[in-house]
């Protein structure tokens, strides 16, 4: 190996690790995938040709040969479990005990991640060993498995010996993507992470696309005085962490816990962890045989349980697609009694080995209706039958890919009522007072079959219906009249074109400006629009070819979509990029405010970017903007522009 080759390999390792850190830890990519891939391929070639492969080379992440068995490892410092509580009163009682021993106290609040606790040892700036928590004293060595996790640094700036703690998780998005293609679906993200780490083949670990979020320094040859400092140290040494909340008031901590949106996270949490934020105070409080006295885990209600599947019924949706709905033996989950759960399609039923009478794992899904994750193997009486005719109108079903459809879109009641419900919904024509139950009544009693027929209704038609009085009838007719001037985007969304949702409807309205322009668009032209593939483009073209009369009927009833107006304001003509953490508002709100004031928001810094808003901990995007001479403002300056 030449000195030139060795130098180039080290350069590539350093460069690729920096790009991976920006992408996987900072969530702030600095190069396109094609650039990363080109450099990675060069590194693979050089390592193969020279036989030289540094310990922190990104090529070590793909997973090597299966290992024969796990070996044990004794942690430098024992890992304790956490004491738990399930009510705010219990948390207040714990706070009272703490204050009885300390003159003053500050707490940290962090997510209690639902994954697998990991302990990583670094020595000389390199990852020396990774192990599971085990019994808190001894764990299993899983170094090769952990090396496949792209958010784990293989080398860090600190060159001494240090042991760090983190939680290995499988993000919900990765779990969903994995299960969509897996022949053997995972039961939940936690099992997905644990099974991958404890698999003897690192290539299996790599396939799960795991992540580790670090939260504490278990041992260091340098003194780290507080948990806050520990997290700051972790960040400085390239570890991925989550935001901490600090407060001296337990009521502020409780209020913050109460605001946690579990559904808004891309990972599972089963509670929040409250810790005393002082090494000296922790030493004063000490430990019991099992727990540190200075920490408490507040546990949320369980999101997963098991119950018996009693039956499966098939529901017909707006597009005619049939979806299996599981009827369950009632069970308590997240404070509610659950009697139903979703399954995606018949392939999902087969893949998850669901049978009538099975014991099934169910999981809370966005606080609405749970999803069946899998069935306990060997349980159940008989297979779930696949329907041959529509359960509503008895029309023979058709199969398209993994789904089955009722083709009777003109005479199948559930399809028609669902289309009407979509048409009047808030993101469409926004008609108050028309629930699916009311629309079903209109279908049965008034013969309403199309959206345009709603505009033929009179108050006299409604008064004779069950539970309709004069005021209710008048209110609905008034709401229908007011709905005749929707935005063009809402109108396009209301048509129910397959593949066109709220966002795409908005994009189409902005691009075409009126409904006639969209009607004339060719498939080739539509596929040139971002996020519009050939299938969706064909669906749009087919709708106007086959059902254009529905649009004419609506226009004939006085429906007049409002054409989009260009937003104006102090961001007009600006292409704005946001980077770093905004403390005063969620990023989604900032994007909305920019767009309302005439600007557009980009995801990466390019020569076309005109303004960069740099929040706290701004990273590589700020450096790139400065290099390109792009105007940069702070969050406070951004707020001043918003409020101007």
Mean pLDDT, residues 473-495? 93
Does the structure show a pLDDT above 80 at 423? Answer: yes
Considering 23-27, 419-423, 519-523, the range whose residues carry the highest mean pLDDT is 419-423
Does the structure show a pLDDT above 60 at 534? Answer: yes
At 231-254, the pLDDT tens digits run 888 988 999 998 788 999 999 999
At 340-380, the pLDDT tens digits run 998 888 888 988 889 999 999 888 755 457 888 888 888 88
Identify the CA nearest to 114 among candidates 274, 288, 300, 264.
300
Q: How far does Cα 431 stand from its chain's mean position?
A: 30
Average pLDDT score, the chain:
87
Does the structure show a pLDDT above 70 at 167? Answer: yes
Both tokens of 218, joined, read: 């278990």
Residue 472 known to be catalytic = no
Query: Which residue ranges form the domains of the chain, and what is each CATH number?
Result: 3-62 (1.10.287.610), 84-299 (3.30.470.30), 304-405 (2.40.50.140), 413-482 (1.10.150.20), 488-556 (1.10.150.20), 575-643 (3.40.50.10190)
Distance, CA of 442 to CA of 294 (rounded, Å): 62
Catalytic one of 7, 68, 97, 112:
112
Does the structure show a pLDDT above 90 at 413? Answer: yes
Does the structure show a pLDDT above 90 at 471? Answer: no
The pLDDT value recorded for residue 261 is 84
| CB 177 within 8 Å of CB 235 | no
Count of alpha carbons within 13 Å of 234, Cβ hemisphere only?
A: 29
Both tokens of 318, joined, read: 């707006």
| CB 161 within 8 Å of CB 123 | yes
Give me the residues paired with residue 324 across strands. Answer: 314
The pLDDT value recorded for residue 24 is 64
Distance, CA of 301 to CA of 556 (rounded, Å): 53
Burial 21-45 (b: 16+ CB within 10 A, else e): bbbbbbebbbbeeeebeebbeebbe
Written as one string, the DSSP assignment of 40-59 is HHHHHHHHHHH----TT-GG
């Amino acid at each position: 190996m030449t000195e030139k080759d060795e130098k180039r390999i080290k350069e590539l390792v350093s460069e690729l690790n920096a790009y991976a850190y920006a992408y996987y830890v900072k969530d702030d990519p600095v190069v396109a995938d094609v650039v990363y891939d080109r450099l990675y391929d060069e590194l693979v070639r050089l390592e193969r040709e020279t036989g030289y492969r540094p310990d922190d080379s990104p090529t070590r992440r793909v997973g090597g040969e299966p290992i024969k068995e796990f070996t044990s490892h004794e942690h430098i410092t024992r890992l304790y479990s956490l004491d738990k509580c399930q009510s705010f009163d219990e948390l207040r009682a714990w706070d009272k005990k703490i204050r009885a021993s300390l003159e003053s106290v500050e707490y940290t609040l962090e997510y209690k991640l639902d994954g697998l606790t990991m302990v990583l040892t670094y020595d000389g700036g390199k990852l020396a060993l990774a192990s599971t928590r085990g019994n808190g004293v001894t764990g299993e060595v899983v170094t090769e498995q952990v090396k496949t996790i792209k958010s784990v640094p293989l080398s860090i700036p600190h060159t001494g010996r240090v042991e760090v703690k983190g939680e290995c998780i499988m993000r919900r998005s990765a779990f969903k993507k994995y299960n969509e293609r897996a022949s053997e679906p995972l039961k939940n993200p936690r099992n997905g992470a644990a099974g991958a780490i404890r698999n003897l083949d690192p290539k299996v670990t790599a396939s799960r696309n795991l992540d580790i979020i670090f939260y504490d320094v278990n041992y260091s040859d340098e003194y780290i005085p507080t948990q806050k400092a520990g997290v700051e140290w972790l960040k400085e040494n390239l570890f991925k962490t989550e935001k901490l909340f600090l407060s001296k008031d337990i009521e502020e901590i409780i209020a913050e816990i109460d605001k946690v949106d579990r559904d808004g996270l891309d990972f599972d949490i089963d509670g929040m962890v409250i810790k005393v934020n002082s090494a000296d105070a922790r030493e004063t409080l000490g430990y019991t045989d099992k727990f540190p006295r200075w920490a408490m885990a507040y546990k949320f209600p369980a999101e997963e349980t098991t119950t018996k599947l009693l039956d499966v019924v098939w529901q017909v949706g707006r597009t005619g697609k049939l979806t299996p709905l599981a009827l369950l033996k009632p069970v308590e989950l997240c404070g509610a009694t659950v009697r139903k759960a979703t399954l995606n399609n018949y392939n999902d039923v087969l893949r998850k080995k669901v049978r009538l009478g099975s014991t099934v794992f169910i999981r809370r899904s966005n606080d609405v209706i749970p999803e069946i994750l899998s069935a306990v193997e060997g349980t159940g009486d008989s297979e779930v039958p696949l329907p041959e005719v529509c359960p509503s109108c008895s029309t023979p079903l058709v199969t398209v890919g993994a789904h089955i459809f009722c083709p009777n879109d003109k005479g199948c009641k559930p399809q028609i009522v669902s289309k009407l419900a979509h048409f009047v919904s808030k993101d469409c024509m926004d008609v108050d007072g028309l629930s699916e139950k009311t629309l079903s009544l209109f279908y049965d009693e008034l013969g309403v079959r199309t959206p345009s027929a709603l505009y033929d209704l009179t108050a006299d038609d409604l008064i004779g219906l069950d539970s309709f009085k004069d005021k209710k009838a008048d209110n609905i007719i008034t709401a229908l009249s007011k709905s005749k001037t929707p935005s063009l985007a809402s109108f396009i969304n209301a048509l129910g074109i397959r593949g066109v949702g709220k966002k795409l409807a908005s994009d189409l309205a902005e691009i075409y400006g009126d409904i006639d322009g969209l009607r004339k668009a060719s498939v080739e032209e539509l596929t040139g629009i971002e996020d519009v593939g050939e299938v969706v483009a064909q669906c749009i073209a087919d709708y106007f070819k086959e059902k254009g009369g529905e649009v004419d009927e609506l226009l004939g009833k006085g429906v007049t979509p409002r054409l989009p107006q260009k937003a104006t304001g102090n961001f007009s003509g600006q292409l704005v990029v946001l980077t770093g953490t905004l403390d005063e508002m969620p990023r989604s709100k900032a994007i909305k405010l920019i767009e309302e004031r005439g600007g557009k928001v980009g995801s990466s810094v390019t020569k076309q970017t005109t303004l960069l808003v740099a929040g706290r901990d701004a990273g590589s995007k700020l450096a790139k903007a400065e290099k390109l001479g792009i105007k940069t403002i702070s969050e406070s300056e951004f707020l001043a522009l918003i409020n101007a």
